[in-house]
Every structure is written in structure tokens, then in C-alpha cells.
Structure 1
């Protein structure tokens, strides 16, 4: 069974909060980004994601999005509304627009603890014209997120 993913969409004007990543695993088989690559080693991947993570047993997707946002960025917020659903590395994903965001975005939680040369995390505010260069993942969220930021 695939564990659902809950995602927090935090907007500041025409920018969205993303986590810029670099990930390199010891083998392609251990790397979600390599997928079914037929190489033995993972070459490393530069990409960005929106804050979020797995929905725990007995937890709603809404609660998971709020929790993950706080754990990863120290930001506190509430759900405004569900923006869209999709897939993230084959897992079902729910994307929620956050409202009443409070605090300053600071990398925290396991992302801060696991930060290393082969597994790096950096919070940044990105505009829609940066999504491709940042390799915002999954790619199918770029267009709806750009439309949201264009309003």
C-alpha cells in the first residue's frame, strides 16, 4: 500500500515556498528519483519540492500538511483549501493552500538533521519562472502552481 503524501502550498505574493534539494544515494535502487534506472549508482539529483510528507496512520491529509509544514520549516498555518490532488513518486498526493501563515521559514526537523553533502535541503521562495530551472518535482504541479501565483 502506498502511503499518501500531504503538501503545504505557502504563497507570498507571486512566490511559493520550496525546498531546494540535492540527493545522491549509494545505489539507484535506493533512490526514488532514479526510479527504475538500470545503472548501479545514483548520479545525484538537483530538484525542489513543496513542503510536505507522508500522512501518518489515523491522521487526515489536512493535519499532515500542517504538521509537515511546521516540522520542516517552523511555520505555523491553517488550511485554506484543497488546491488539487495528484501523484508524487507514484504516491497519491494532496496539495493544500495554507493561510494565516506565522513565523519565519527556518529549516528544521529531520531535514535539518539529515542535511549533508549528499542529502541537502535549502528553503527558498521561488517564482513561477524559476520552477523549471529548480526542477520543481513533480513536474505536473508547475502549471497549476504558476496559475495560482499569477492571480
Structure 2
């Protein structure tokens, strides 16, 4: 997981304010967690993008085992894959590392399903299928 704290200059500039239907002008700051991921670049498959984003954000490499489910993330289509044969030591890197500031903090964490709610895993609709995949109860 990537544990996040994000505060934007205004609520209108903050995707988390929008996702949480915050209706005041100032962004209050948000504590939440996300899975490594991002967007599919031109000419890429979703599988290739998932592995690229994993490496860009964490320096880890792996192999796609299978597609787990699809959904939406911030209004965009999202694909979630099971990645196996993960190699490396996780180190925050890429845009997440470059953007570190008191208003934008990212921290890599290994977590169990019992921590999803406490960390505010976003989007919330990934919590149940991920808990089921891990074979635990949250």
C-alpha cells in the first residue's frame, strides 16, 4: 500500500475532496491509502502499465498472474491484477517520491486486510475483494 496524506490549496483542486463530496472551499487534508497504480500510456496494455507503475512507485518488479477485477478509480476505468514473483526491496520512487512535502506525504507499507479500514484504503470498493483474495476477514 501507499499510505498518503494530501492537502491541496483548495477543495476544487483536490480529487479526494471531490471523491468525498467535500463542499467547503478549503481542502481539509486527507489521510488514506492506495494500491500502487496509475494510468495506461499510449500503446500499453493494462498489464504492462500495472507492472510499470509498480516499478515506478516502489522499485519492485513482478509478474502478472491474473486479472482480479475491474472497477472505477476517480471516475476512470481501473483494472486490478494479482502480481506474483515480486522481487526487490520497496523504496518510494518516481512522482510520489519527487512530490514529498508537508502537504503531500507518501509512505510504502505492507499491510493486512485488518488495516484497510483504519488506513482508509481508497477506493473503498477494493477492500472487500482484496480481503477475500487474502483469505482473511477485515
> When the two structures are superposed, what TM-score results if normalisation uses the length of structure 1?
0.86
- Looking at structure 2, the residues matched to 23 and 61 of structure 1 have their Cα atoms a distance apart, in angstroms, of 26
The unaligned stretches of length 5 or more in structure 1 are 1-17
The unaligned stretches of length 5 or more in structure 2 are none
**Number of equivalenced pairs:** 134
Tell me: higher relative CO, structure 1 or 2? Use CA pairs within 8 A at least 6 residues apart: 1
The aligned residue for residue 11 of structure 1 is none
The aligned residue for residue 31 of structure 1 is 14
CA deviation string 1:125-144 (max 9, x = no partner): 11111000000000010010
Instruction: Say yes or no: does 1:124 pair with 2:119.
Output: no
- Cα distance, 1:97 vs. partner? 0.5
The aligned residue for residue 133 of structure 2 is 148
> When the two structures are superposed, what TM-score results if normalisation uses the length of structure 2?
0.94
The aligned residue for residue 46 of structure 1 is 31
- Looking at structure 2, the residues matched to 129 and 38 of structure 1 have their Cα atoms a distance apart, in angstroms, of 30
> Which of the pair is proportionally richer in strand?
1
